[in-house]
Amino acid sequence: MAAWARRPGDSGSTEVQVAILTVRINNLHRHFKKHTKDKHTRRGLEALTVQRRKLLQYMKRVDFPMYRRIVLTLGLQPVRDSKKPKLAR
């Protein structure tokens, strides 16, 4: 978290939020290796994953160089564009 903070004590910037969510998601993945039938926590994992994806989409749109750096450093897959292409009629 300190590596992504813009200033000391920063916990609200998009980069820090993505890093925190990534740590939480990785911890839950380790939890599921031991507790495979924990369905309630799996729902929480899906919510965290969606939240991280939305933050990454925002970051890709607003600050692309930082998006590329965080995706490469954290080892994440690039997010797809959220908007569907409009089809010609």
Q: Which residues contact 31 (CB under 8 A, 6 or more apart)?
A: 38, 41
pTM: predicted TM-score of the whole model, two decimal places = 0.84
Q: Which residues contact 15 (CB under 8 A, 6 or more apart)?
A: 4, 6, 59, 66, 70
Residue-range domains of the chain with CATH = 14-74 (1.10.287.10)
Digit-coded pLDDT (tens) for 35-53? 989 999 999 999 999 999 9
Q: What is the pLDDT along the chain (89 residues), one digit of tens a residue?
A: 678 888 888 888 999 999 999 999 999 999 999 998 999 999 999 999 999 999 999 999 999 999 999 999 999 998 887 666 667 66
How far apart, in whole angstroms, are the C-alpha atoms of residue 28 and residue 13? 23
